[in-house]
A and B are shown apart, each in its own frame.
Chain A
Amino acid sequence: MSQQILEGLAAIVNEVAGVPVADVQLDKSFIDDLDIDSLSMVEVVIAAEDKWGVKIPDSEVKNLKTVGDAVTFISANSK
């Protein structure tokens, strides 16, 4: 499950920000490692919500510092 979410998330990050899929690893920080700005992060959230049917509130987004944080949140909350 987590591997599938990681792959899906990598595809989204690639599409939104042009980051190579292979660079999107669990330990990578969206801001510091992948250079995802706050606007692109909103796009990632919208795409992830659509893909996995989760709701990611703004209050939660700031806790999703790494790709692994996002994968954990999505796998715990997706329907």
Chain B
Amino acid sequence: MTRQVVVTGLGMTTPVGGDAPSSWRAILAGEPGIARIDEPWTHDQPSKIAGIMAVDPASCLAPHEARRLDRSQQAALVAAREAWADAGAPEIDPDRLGAVVATGMGGLISLISSYDLLLERGASRISPHMVTMIMPNGSAAHVGLEIGARAGVHTPVSACASGAEAVSYAARMIQEGRADVVVAGGTEAVIHPITMAGFAAMRALSTRNDDPAAASRPYDIDRDGFVMGEGAGIMVLESAEFAAARGAKIYGVYGGSGLTSDGHHIAQPDPEGRGATRAIAGALSDAGLSTGDIVHVNAHATSTPQGDIAESAAIVAALGSHTGNVAVTGTKSMTGHLLGGAGAVESIFTVLALRDRLVPPTANLHNLDPQINLDIVAGAPRPLPAGDIAALNNSFGFGGHDVALVFRSA
């Protein structure tokens, strides 16, 4: 009998809000946080738009904290403080407390900035914090230090599936008895000419530069790529017994996870979504649920032409005849793609949808691609039924990583 894991605290900083409540309000209202990047370096960039964090995370930190953290680490720390406070700052033996914070690219921008500084002013000007700013485990380590975690601090890295993998890893730590409380999530902040150029070279980014708010449009026939986003999402997971003993408020229940790999291509999805299908089936099995229990999917839905079709095929293959009863949404239509932060932020949206029994709309969906055979929520939020309900959150990453998470209503 594995231990049940519940969600007791939420925190985030995203392109649509500086915290979880404001982000969730914007998502329910269908308001995209995508804008033109106001920098001279965009002049030769195919994609000149992005979802910049609505609130600069550095402004939420003391100056001496901000200066020794990469922007992705700043976002993670801001979101973690919100989530920890939201959970009521549990009193716990540090040996039973963990932190799992994922990232796709770590402190890449700090590395580039430091190299610029080195070329300009020499080796002696490099910050003694550079190494800890660029290491991918830096966010997890800083969050772990913040709360005093000693049960383990970990950083899964699986590109755009990283945040979801972190939630899965954290839940396992609790299920296996390594920890009673784990602060889990993902973060990313790599909006920079070099990354924009790299993703553009893959022809992965939307170039709808004249209408940024309409650029991220999952499932719409006129979608043309994803929109770069940045931010972090952190949730506090704890064993149900520990949460009950301290009278914690429960947002939702972690059901289970499925993790597979495509074995197909380094960056393109398997057109039939077979790895994703197996991940969804695995998550349902791990959660002890059947396809009919799922009422909502927060899809990966990046707004790329091929990716959305492959995921649609996977959802249909995994849920079969129940697919038509499932309200699917793509919240990247509003946040853009937070890469390693996406799976965590969208897990939080999934938990909030179950709590409020309200599925947020997919923004910018005007003409459904006929190859998408899903019931996509668009225009306005859609109510979910009463009673015990469950939802899926899908995340996939370059490299062929597939992660599906199941959450249940509290």
Contacts and interface: CB of A to CB of B under 8 A. Distances in A.
Contact of B128 (A15, A18, A43): A43
B129 A46 contact: no
A15 B127 contact: no
A15 B124 contact: no
The listed residue with most A CB atoms (<10 A of its CB), out of B62, B63, B124, B128, is B128
7 contacts: A15-B63, A16-B64, A16-B67, A18-B63, A18-B65, A40-B128, A43-B129
B300 to A, nearest CB: 39
A43 B65 CA distance: 13
A15 B129 contact: no
B85 to A, nearest CB: 20
A46 B124 contact: yes
A78 B63 CA distance: 27
Contacts of B127: 43, 46
Contacts of A18: 62-65
Interface residues of B, number: 11
Nearest to B132: A39
A46 B122 CA distance: 12
Interface in B106-161: 124-125, 127-129
Contacts of A39: 68, 128-129
A42 interface: yes
Nearest to B131: A39
A17 interface: yes
Contacts of A38: 128
Nearest to B65: A18
A43 B68 CA distance: 10
Contacts of A14: 64
A42 B132 CA distance: 14
A69 to B, nearest CB: 20
Contacts of B63: 15, 18
Interface in A19-55: 38-40, 42-43, 46, 49
B128 A17 contact: no
Closest 10 CB pairs of A and B: A18-B64, A42-B128, A39-B128, A18-B62, A17-B64, A16-B64, A43-B128, A15-B63, A39-B129, A46-B125
A46 B121 CA distance: 12
A40 B128 CA distance: 8
Contacts of B68: 39
Given A16-B64, A46-B125, A46-B127, 17 more contacts: A14-B64, A15-B63, A15-B64, A15-B67, A16-B67, A18-B62, A18-B63, A18-B65, A38-B128, A39-B68, A39-B129, A40-B128, A42-B128, A43-B127, A43-B128, A43-B129, A46-B124
Q: Which of A14, A46, A49: most chain B CB closer than 10 A?
A: A46
Contacts of A16: 64, 67
B77 to A, nearest CB: 14
Contacts of B124: 46, 49
A39 B126 CA distance: 12
Contacts of B64: 14-18
A43 B124 CA distance: 11
Nearest to B126: A46
A43 B130 CA distance: 11
